[in-house]
Chain A
Amino acid sequence: MNHSTIPQSLHRPLVEQILAKAATIILGKGPKLRLSLACLLARGHLLIEDLPGVGKTTLAHLLARLLGLEYSRIQFTSDLLPADVIGVSVYDRAAERFQFHPGPIFAQLVLADEINRATPKAQSALLEAMEERQVTVEGKTYPLPQPFFVIATQNPLFQVGTFPLPESQLDRFLMRIHLGYPEAEQEKALLAGEDRRALLGRLQPVLSPGELIELQSAVGHVHVAPPIIDYVHAILQFTRRSGQFAYGLSPRAGLGLLHAAKAWALLEGRDYVIPEDVQVVLPAVVIHRLVGGEPGQRIGSEEVARLILEQVPV
């Protein structure tokens, strides 16, 4: 399939429809919703980091419903085993052989809830599946469904009883977003309004999985002009050479940044990327991959993004 069957001009109404519906459930988080959608369209996995109860799970559930995806949820706990994620082979007495019972990861949209509560062993089982988009058990390889997304949520690292994800694994997530507390108006509306779960249950999908795949492939066809490549490269170079960070961004981060910018351009109804697209997605894509230059240094995420954006000329 080389070209999207949906004409470019139709992408925008479709996207706007998704976002409009989403806004009825999660109030006042328009830009965050847009970013998460861009992340999914760019075939990236999403990490939502925030305190419990600000609507992380609801957001994941909402996206699954709207995009018409098969949804499963894994609650990560400290005694979770890799088999609990991937699945397990059980001896079938009747067939006289081992039968593979797929785990909850075999779904189009997997919500990995509170991923930092599980041990590194269980975490890496999930992260490997995310990267490979397939699962290997006892020498046999099982492909994961298409499309395949992981939305992981994570409590802030300073809470007790957590195993923070190492930087190398954070790199697997295309974006990391914070939801934050709702604004006063929205919070009052939330308190006054109907139960979100009931609302979710009534929500009708806007897209079919086929249409979603088409949208994703349309992202691949968004045009990237040489100046954009130069700009992204300059950003990567800046993080490597400025001396502000222990490690600069990896090439994978650069690819992710570009891909997310393409998805964002598509959401904006354009078939080419402009520098602003890169700038908009940069905080979500880049910050969780950077570590401050001096040990123990914590740079506020907003500052890091502003620093990079202001230092690199367009």
Chain B
Amino acid sequence: MTKANPPLERPHRQQILWVSLLVAAICAPFVRYLEPSILAFIGLILGVRLLALRWPKALPNRWLRTLLALAGIANCLATYHTLNGQDGGSALLLSMLALKLLEIEGRGDLRLVLILTGFVCAVLFLFDESFLTALYVAMIAGVSIVLLVELQGGLPGDGLKTAARIGAQLILQAIPLTVVLFVLFPRLDTPLWNLVQDQAKGYSGLADSLEPGRLSELVLNDDPVFRVRFAGERPSRRQLYWRALVLRQTDGRRWTQGESGPSPSPLAQAEGPIDYEIVLEPTGQRWLFALDLPLAAPEGSSLDPEYQILADQPVTGLKRYRLRSALDYRTAEPDEAARKLALELPAWILTPRLRRLVEGWRAEQPDDWAVVQQALAYFNREDFYYTLLPPPLGPNPIDSFLFETRRGYCEHYASSLAILMRLAGIPARVVVGYLGGEENALGGYTLVRQSDAHAWVEVAISGRGWVRVDPTAALDPRRIDRGPGTRLLSAGPVRLEPENTSGLVRWARNLRLFADTLEATWQNWILDFSAKDQRRLLERLGLGDWGEYGLISLMLIAVSLTLGTILAVLMHERKRQDPLDRLYGRFCQELARRGIPRLAHEGPLDYGRRVAVSKPELAPWVEGFLGLYLPARYGTQRGPETAQALARALKRRPWRPS
């Protein structure tokens, strides 16, 4: 470092401590997203930093720091094999930010750390956009603004209190601008960072096939899948079958979608229409959820013959759509091809006792629907149990379930019923989706969680089209496993209400509902505010035809208005400035233009002397001005005429005003 550098203002230990804690706080949420090796590195560096506050000797020197930096980069590379992308980039940024804390020479370094912290706040939103995260980030950003103000120094007394006040003022002043930019800044239809979103990101939720064990994984998963707002009355729980996928092909173990048929035939009968809006969390899949049965597909998606709704793009961000469904419906009769497909069975699963069972029903009842009822009655009568922990099935799962284990949950029942029906010559298919949902009276919506996942069956009955049959609902309620695992159980209509609704349980439930309401409001108003809403706003303002240009010009106008107001307030403050100060300011400005700027710490007399030495021709003018200015500014001789005299003296400059 050369001598000419101004002395660094060394930060207080206290300030380093605050900033380090803030960095630790912004790193904390990344624990859920980054690999342990990265977290360990960051933790190590932060630990050294905190130890060094107590024992400054622990601080690594320059060489060691360089080594640590290289180690940090190598660590990121070893973990993610890249320094780009969401994960690799964030890991590198966080590691280097932590390292910077070991290299605090002056306050400038702390400022840099705080500004980078702001950047990390933005990065965190790539991982999580929830309301709580936003709240947390707002808190961190607020604290870092206060610390930045405090670092600037020169605050009286307990500096932090004053800094907090100034910081709060700054934030309040920024709010109008933030609102303007939020509402009017032209945005893409999808968030920009979807472009960099890692494709391999895992989503939990339904998959496009069904085999035993798939859904039971979801039962313990409390993550929200979507939230529904009904335009009118909320239908009863028994009608809330949220359809996602129709599975028509089975190999005896696994159900898959199979090929799709021709375009959908209209419903033969559709009554009890219901309108609702769904806000879907990212699933990474294309299918959308709809109440049985949807009448039309929303924009950007299509309805297929099985009444599944498929979006044009996989859902990687929050998705909102409106739907109309008919609760009371009758589908058209399936055509021959569809019937044939819905009767296919792999021959290897058909055992004699299976055949005997179905033939027994068929012999008693020639009517298809009566056979279905027989089957349901069979599930109810025999000792079938509903349990989340079924025993393993033999090589022929269907036979082994129906005659040996007889313990399972919705997918066992749906799968076996569909196979039994096909065996009886009734076209049948399995539908996967969700059932029910938790009503949130506070937020006015219904929340469907992963744990509401369910599977049921549709059979084709001549004259009635496809009819929904839920074998799980037919079980004898006495044979439902009430063991510890089932307390969380909510798949299927056998959902158990908590038995002791004591105050604490109710309170916890309400708290959860409240938190989810906040989340939903956040999604509705902030996250989901899209280009569409902007267009709607423009149309409401009568600027619909202007499109993006209207948005941009509106934004420019609003920003200039906001900035103009702030500027006007500042100008007003300036006007209140002492006239002498203003005149002296102009005097210094004039001289600065002549190449001799005043140093910040230079008193008027010293400045005048310096000017007189370097530009002797200016000396008389400078002396004349200062001779009036000094007694007026610092002495007691001061009247209304002083300012005028000074202004005159200022005008007597020995050069032509530019």
Chain A residues near B (Cβ < 8 Å): 223, 225, 227-228, 234, 237-238, 241-244, 270-276, 279, 293, 307, 309-314
Instruction: Report B-chain residues with C-beta under 8 Å of the C-beta of A314.
Output: 600-604
Q: Does any Cβ of A come within 8 Å of B154's Cβ? A: yes
A-B pairs, 6 with minimum CB distance: A275-B603, A272-B635, A313-B600, A276-B603, A243-B10, A225-B634
A221–chain B nearest beta-carbon distance, Å: 10
Tell me, rounded to whole Å, the shortest Cβ–Cβ distance linking B241 to chain A.
Answer: 68
Chain B residues with CB below 8 A from A225, complex form: 633-635
CB distance from A108 to the nearest CB of B (A): 32
Complex CA distance for A245 and B435, rounded to whole angstroms: 69
Question: Which residues on B sit within 8 Å (CB–CB) of A243?
Answer: 9-12
Within the complex, the shortest CB–CB distance from B540 to chain A, in Å, comes to 51
Contact B630 A274 (CB under 8 A): yes
Known: A310-B6, A313-B600, A314-B600. A241 touches B155 (CB 8 A): yes
* Least Cβ–Cβ distance between B654 and chain A, in angstroms: 25
Which residues of B sit under 8 angstroms from A309, Cβ to Cβ?
601
Using Cβ atoms and an 8 Å threshold, which residues of chain B touch A276? 603-606
Q: Report A-chain residues with C-beta under 8 Å of the C-beta of B631.
A: 272
Q: Is the CB of B606 within 8 A of A310?
A: no
Are B601 and A312 interface neighbours, CB within 8 A? yes
User: Which B residues between 618 and 644 are near A, CB-CB below 8 angstroms?
Assistant: 630-631, 633-636
CA distance A241 to B10 in the complex (A): 10
B154 touches A223 (CB 8 A): no
Cα(A243)–Cα(B10), bound, Å: 6
> Which residue in B7, B154, B603 is a CB contact (below 8 Å) of A307?
B7
**A residues near B153, Cβ cutoff 8 Å:** 238, 241-242
With a cutoff of 8 Å between Cβ atoms, the chain B residues found around residue A238 in the complex are 153-154
Q: Are A279 and B633 also in contact (CB < 8 A) when A241-B153, A241-B155, A310-B6 are? A: no
Chain B residues with a Cβ under 8 A of chain A: 6-7, 9-12, 153-156, 159, 600-606, 630-631, 633-636
A216 vs chain B, min Cβ distance (A): 20
Nearest-Cβ distance from residue A277 to partner chain B, whole angstroms: 9
CA distance A313 to B153 in the complex (A): 13
Tell me which residues across on chain A come within 8 A of B7, comparing CB atoms. 244, 307, 311
In the complex, the chain B residue whose C-beta lies closest to that of A314 is B603
Q: Looking at the complex, which one of A223, A271, A275 makes contact with B604 (CB distance below 8 Å)? A: A275
In the complex, what's the smallest C-beta–C-beta distance from A266 to chain B, in angstroms?
13
A106 → B minimal CB distance (Å):
39
A241-B602 contact in complex given A225-B633, A225-B634, A272-B631, C-beta closer than 8 Å? no
- What's the minimum C-beta distance from A272 to chain B, rounded to whole angstroms? 4
- Complex interface: chain A residues within 8 A of B601 (CB): 309-314
Contacts A/B (CB < 8 Å), 24 sampled: A225-B634, A227-B633, A227-B634, A238-B153, A241-B153, A241-B159, A243-B11, A243-B12, A244-B9, A270-B635, A272-B630, A272-B635, A272-B636, A275-B603, A276-B605, A279-B606, A307-B7, A310-B6, A311-B9, A311-B601, A312-B601, A314-B601, A314-B603, A314-B604
In whole angstroms, what is the CA distance A243 to B636 when docked? 37
Given pairs A272-B634, A314-B602, 12 additional interface contacts (CB within 8 A): A223-B635, A225-B635, A241-B153, A241-B155, A244-B7, A244-B10, A274-B605, A275-B605, A276-B605, A309-B601, A310-B6, A312-B601
How far is A225 from B9 in the complex, measured between Cα atoms in Å?
29
CB within 8 A of A274: which of B600, B603, B636? Answer: B603
Q: How far is the CB of A237 from chain B (nearest CB, A)?
A: 6
Cβ–Cβ < 8 Å partners of B155 in chain A: 237, 241
B634 touches A223 (CB 8 A): yes
B159 surroundings in chain A (CB, below 8 A): 241
Question: Which residues in B have their C-beta under 8 angstroms from that of A242?
Answer: 9-10, 153
The chain A residue with its CB closest to the CB of B9 is: A242
Report the bound CA distance from A312 to B599 in whole Å. Answer: 11
Q: Which residues of B contact A237 (CB under 8 A)?
A: 154-156
A279 to B601, CA, bound (A): 10
A275 to B600, CA, bound (A): 12
Chain A residue numbers with a CB within 8 Å of B9 are 242-244, 311
Q: Are B10 and A293 in contact (CB under 8 A)?
A: yes
Q: How far is the CB of B110 from chain A (nearest CB, A)?
A: 11
User: Please, which residue of chain B has its CB at the minimum distance from the CB of A225?
Assistant: B634
In the bound complex, CA of A241 to CA of B152 (Å):
10
Known A-B contacts A241-B153, A242-B9, A243-B9; the reply to A271 vs B635 at CB < 8 A is: yes
| A296 CB, nearest partner CB in chain B, Å | 13
Shortest CB–CB separation between residue B341 and chain A, in angstroms?
A: 79
Residue of A nearest to B106 (CB): A243
Write out the residue numbers on chain A whose beta carbons fall within 8 Å of the beta carbon of B156: 237
- Give, as a whole number of angstroms, the nearest-CB distance from A175 to chain B: 20
Which chain B residue shows the least CB distance to A228? B634
Minimum Cβ distance to chain A for residue B599 (Å): 8
Question: Which residue from A234, A244, A273 sits with its C-beta under 8 Å from B634?
Answer: A273
Give the shortest distance, in Å, between B373 (CB) and chain A (any CB): 85
Chain B residue contacts of A274, Cβ below 8 A:
603-605, 630, 634
Residues of the A chain whose Cβ atoms lie less than 8 Å from the Cβ of B602? 314
Chain B residues whose C-beta falls within 8 Å of the C-beta of A234 in the assembled complex: 154
Nearest Cβ in chain B — how far from A264, in angstroms?
Answer: 12
Task: For the complex, give the distance between the alpha carbons of A131 and B6 in Å.
Answer: 39
Instruction: Tell me the nearest residue of chain A to B159, going by C-beta.
Output: A241
B600 to chain A, nearest CB (A): 4
Instruction: Give A242 to B106 CA distance when docked, in angstroms.
Output: 11
Least Cβ distance of B583 to chain A in Å? Answer: 14
Query: Does B636 lie within 8 Å of A279, measured CB to CB?
Result: no
| A223–B630 alpha-carbon span in the complex (Å) | 12
Closest partner residue, chain A, to B12 (CB atom)? A243
A270 to B636, CA, bound (A): 11
**A residues within 8 A CB of B154?**
234, 237-238, 241
Task: Name A272's closest neighbour in chain B (CB-CB).
Answer: B635
Q: Give chain A residues whose Cβ lies under 8 Å from the Cβ of B633.
A: 225, 227
In whole Å, how far is B14's beta carbon from the nearest beta carbon of chain A?
10
Chain A residue contacts of B600, Cβ below 8 A: 313-314
Contacts of B604 in A (CB 8 A): 274-276, 314
Q: Shortest Cβ distance from B454 into chain A, in angstroms?
A: 64
User: Which residue on B lies nearest to A313, using beta carbons?
Assistant: B600
Shortest Cβ distance from A233 into B: residue: B156
- Chain A residue numbers with a CB within 8 Å of B606 are 276, 279
User: Which residue of A is nearest B153, CB measured?
Assistant: A241
Q: Report the minimal beta-carbon distance from B159 to chain A, rounded to whole angstroms.
A: 7
Bound form: Cα–Cα A273–B12 in Å: 34
A249 to B398, CA, bound (A): 89
Cα A157 to Cα B10 in complex, Å, equals 28
Tell me which of B11, B155, B606 has the highest count of chain A C-beta atoms within 10 A of its own C-beta: B606
Shortest Cβ gap from B475 to chain A (Å): 74
Tell me how far the C-beta of B567 lies from the nearest C-beta in chain A, rounded to whole angstroms. 24
Give CA–CA (A313, B636) in the complex, Å: 23
Q: How far is it, in angstroms, between the C-alpha of A227 and the C-alpha of B629 when the chains are bound? A: 13
Contact of B603 among A244, A279, A311 (CB under 8 A): A279
Chain A residues in 8 Å Cβ range of B603: 274-276, 279, 314
Residues from chain A with Cβ under 8 Å of B12 in the complex: 243
Q: How far is the CA of A307 from the CA of B6 in the complex (A)?
A: 9
Q: Which residue of A lies closest to B636 (CB)?
A: A223
The chain A residue with its CB closest to the CB of B10 is A243
In the complex formed, the residue of B with least CB distance to A268 is: B605
How long is the Cα–Cα vector from A268 to B604 in the complex, in angstroms?
Answer: 16
In the assembled complex, the CB of B569 is this many whole angstroms from the nearest CB of chain A, namely 23
> Which of A225, A238, A275 has the most B CB atoms < 10 Å from its CB?
A275
Chain A: which residue is nearest B602 at the CB level?
A314
Distance in angstroms between the alpha carbons of A312 and B9 in the assembled complex: 12
Bound state CA distance, A128 and B164, in angstroms?
Answer: 43
Q: Which B residues touch A310, using CB under 8 A? A: 6, 601
Identity of the chain A residue whose Cβ is nearest the Cβ of B637 in the assembled complex: A272
Query: How far is A217 from B84 in the complex, measured between Cα atoms in Å?
Result: 74
CA gap between A267 and B571 in the complex, in Å: 41
Chain A contacts of B6 at CB under 8 A?
A: 310-311
With both chains docked as a complex, state the minimum distance between the C-beta of A101 and any C-beta of chain B, in angstroms.
49
